């Protein structure tokens, strides 16, 4: 009898103290739609854990610290403790000379959607369109003009900066190369101090940004990624840059630019 009690006690101790994924028909259907497929992240988030919540029937998230275009391959979909988990690996997309290429880097990413109190069947049906772009053209409509300006040189050269957004100029931002526009000039740059675990010389880091009418960087994107560990220091440095703003016929204007960040190792 004592041996049976001890055996039962050992079996109880051997059960892991984890919460198992919950079975749900809506999640099973969602998993079938997403699993082993690749999508473009709509949030443009560089974070390895991306948090969403349901608000008034909509799936929403907070703005990321900076933005990056990336391809996300789904490896797992499950529900646990009123949180929908979508796990996979993210591959940054690079933009250079008007061309888009897939980075050789990839890293694990998990999307967490808090669904407590929500109609899971309804949310699951609409969720993919809330989280992902399904094709490149759809994503490009949401990229800053800086990414694609190399493909619009003919339009750019035909524009006067004072005509931006009119029938005479299809471009939506004043851009270097337009008639009447004086480019911004850098007043202050900041070197990046990388940790010993990140070698700044290994790959380039290129940042796209808007320079506002006060000469401050806004809306920062990584266009050529070296991975999250080195992208973030590059962004933090670029945020501290200071420019003399661009002018259009003498009046300050916001302007998109691409810069390569300075680096320092130790």
Structural domain including 40 reads 19-140
Q: Could you say which DSSP state residue 163 is in?
A: G
| Helix, strand or coil, per DSSP, at residue 175 | coil
173 and 135 co-located in one domain: no
Q: Is residue 101 part of a domain?
A: yes
169 and 250 co-located in one domain: yes
Confidence of residue 201 (pLDDT cuts 50, 70, 90): very low
Q: Give strand ranges (E) for 157-232.
A: 181-182, 185-188, 192-193, 206-211, 217-224
User: Which of these three, 140, 168, 194, is where a domain ends?
Assistant: 140
Q: How confident is the model over 113-156, as pLDDT tens digits?
A: 999 988 889 989 999 999 999 998 999 888 877 666 555 665 66
136 and 150 co-located in one domain: no
Lay out the sheet containing 246-248: strands in order across. Answer: 181-182, 246-248, 251-253
91 and 132 co-located in one domain: yes
How many other β-carbons are positioned within 10 Å of the β-carbon of residue 8?
10
pLDDT given for residue 76 in this prediction: 97
Alpha-carbon dihedral of residues 133, 206, 99, 134, nearest 10 degrees? -10
Q: Is residue 10 part of a domain?
A: no
Question: How many domains, in total, are found in the chain?
Answer: 2
39 and 129 co-located in one domain: yes
Phi and psi dihedrals of 250, rounded to 5? 95, -15
Q: How confident is the model over 216-255, as pLDDT tens digits?
A: 999 999 888 877 777 888 888 889 999 999 999 999 999 9
How many other β-carbons are positioned within 10 Å of the β-carbon of residue 119?
12
pTM confidence score: 0.79
How many other β-carbons are positioned within 10 Å of the β-carbon of residue 245?
19
| Residue 184: CATH number of its domain | 3.30.2420.10
Q: Is residue 5 part of a domain?
A: no
């Amino acid at each position: 009898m004592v041996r049976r009690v001890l055996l039962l006690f050992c079996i109880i101790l051997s059960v892991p103290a984890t919460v198992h994924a919950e079975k749900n028909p809506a999640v099973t259907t969602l998993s079938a739609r997403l699993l082993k497929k690749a999508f473009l992240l709509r949030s443009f988030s560089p974070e390895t854990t991306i948090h969403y919540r349901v608000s008034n029937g909509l799936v929403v998230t907070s703005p990321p610290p900076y933005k990056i275009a990336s391809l996300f391959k789904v490896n797992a979909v499950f529900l646990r403790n009123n949180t929908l988990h979508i796990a996979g690996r993210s591959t940054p997309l690079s933009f250079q000379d008007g061309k888009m290429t897939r980075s050789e880097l990839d890293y694990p990413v998990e999307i967490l959607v808090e669904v407590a109190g929500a109609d899971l069947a309804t949310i699951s049906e609409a969720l993919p369109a809330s989280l992902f772009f399904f094709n490149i053209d759809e994503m490009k409509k949401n990229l800053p003009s800086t990414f694609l300006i190399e493909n619009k040189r003919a339009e750019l050269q035909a524009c006067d900066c004072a005509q931006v957004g009119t029938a005479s100029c299809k471009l939506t931002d004043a851009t270097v190369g337009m008639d009447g526009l004086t480019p911004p000039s850098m007043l202050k740059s900041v070197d990046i101090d990388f940790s010993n675990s990140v070698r700044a010389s290994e790959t380039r880091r290129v940042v796209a940004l808007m320079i506002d009418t006060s000469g401050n960087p806004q809306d920062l994107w990584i266009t050529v990624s070296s991975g999250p560990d080195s992208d973030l220091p590059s962004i933090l440095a670029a945020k501290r840059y200071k420019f003399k703003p661009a002018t259009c016929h003498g009046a300050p204007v916001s302007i998109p630019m691409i810069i390569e960040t300075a680096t320092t190792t130790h």
